[in-house]
Every structure is written in structure tokens, then in C-alpha cells.
Amino acid sequence: MGRYRTGMIEILEIPKRALAIYAHPDDPEVSAGGTLARWAQAGSEVWVLVTTLGDKGSDDPATNPIAMVKQRRDETTEAMKVLGLAGSLHLDYPDGEVEDSIELRERIVRHVRELRPDVILCPDPTALFFGDRYINHRDHRITGLAALDAVAPASANPHYFPEHIAQGLAPHSVSQVLCSGTLAPNAWVDVATTIDRKIKAVGCHASQVGEETEWLPEVIRDRAAAAGAEVGVEFAEAFRRLQIS
């Protein structure tokens, strides 16, 4: 069992199985890499579902999008190994083209019913602005919204996508959702034991952070320290926790 400090609550059990649903290949590691690694280290089966290809991961006109997709898929594979995760799944929408559609929800619900996670992690779709310098990427917001719609109530209700039932995929109730990148955190996971693993996993994404990553440990530690300071631990990741069932 693991115990996580929270503002008003305690999450007392490490999940048997978790699914992190994010937009871009590096998002799970950046948003929740310490948490995912901690759970995997404790014996959880942890999967990642990425909605996009990552094809627009560079603004250099000379970048070949096909080569970028290949590189980013390889980076994800390496990062999964570093974090000790079960693996990654990919919906392969082009970057910037993730839409709030029945198709997207059906595909997410299918994976939820296949993997049957206790906990879902995803971006907080309500977070639009961070200060006056950053607008949250549309892919993040739509992916988070679709993930929430997929588990509340779709995945648990047999009348949503009944073709799944005919294919042997029973309804599944997710117990809770942890939304990262939130402006209203109410749960924090202590990641002091896995912060170095998170740093290494984020560093696997050279297409995004570059080959020279001397700056990366300080940035990640500073952010984790700021979250940890809210609850009295050295390093933490903050979430908005939703109890679903």
C-alpha cells in the first residue's frame, strides 16, 4: 500500500492497474512521470494511451513529419522502459486534429474496457490559461475532455457502444480520475523516490528537449519542489482528483 498526501483526502491504495491518457508522446512523462513510475515500481500495471502522432513536434520547416513520427514513437518506447510501464497505445491523430467526437470517445472507451484500469490520468480540460504567457494546447484540452466523457459515464454503461459488448468487452467502472495540469489541485503524489526516473524519461524525448539536457533536471526538480511545498514533501506531482465510483 502507498499513501499520498492530499489537501482534504488520502489516496490509500496504489492501483492494481492505471491508464494515462494524454495528447502528445512526451505528455505522460512531463505531466505524471513520477507518479506512473512510483506505481509501476510498487507493482501496478501502468499503460499509456497517446491520442496524436506527434507529427508537428517541430516548427522547423525542414523537418520531415514522417521521420518525426518515427522518432517520437521510438522516444516513447525508451521512456516507457525507463518508467517501468507495461506499454503504450496510440490513436494516431495528426497533431492539432484531435476533435471532440463520438469516434474519439468510442476508441478511448474501447481501451478502457480492454485494460480495465482502476485509475485514469489525463489533462484537466478546464485549464485554458496558465498565467499570461501560455495557452493550453487544444489537443491537451480535447484529450482530457474525451477521457472524462469516456469514463463518466460511457465505459460503465452497456448502452454506450453496445458493439463492444457483442465483441466480449464488458462495461467497466473506473474508480477515480487524476487530472494533471490543473489550476485546482486537491491531491498530490510524493515522487521523491522516482524524480530521477522522471527526469531520465523526459530526457528520452530528444525531439522536444534537445540532445543537450543539462538544464532539464533543475527545471523538473523545481516544478516538483513547488508542488511538494504545498503539502510538505520534497517533490510531488499535483492533480485534481475525481472520485467516479
Q: Is the dihedral of CA 89, 220, 203, 15 positive or negative?
A: negative
Determine whether 159 is exposed, middle or buried from the number of CB atoms within 10 Å of its CB (0-12, 13-18, 19+): exposed
Low-confidence ranges of the chain (pLDDT < 70): 1-12
Nearest to 29 by CA among 69, 103, 83, 77: 83
* Domains of the chain, residue spans: 17-243
> Which amino acid appears at position 134 of this protein?
Y
pLDDT, residue 9, reads 42
Look at residue 153 in the predicted model and tell me its pLDDT.
95
pLDDT at 6: 55
Asked if CATH classification 3.40.50.10320 holds for the domain at 17-243, the reply, yes or no, is yes
Q: What is the pLDDT of residue 12?
A: 47
Question: For position 210, what pLDDT does the model report?
Answer: 78
What integer pLDDT is reported at residue 134 of this predicted model? 87
- pTM given for the model: 0.93
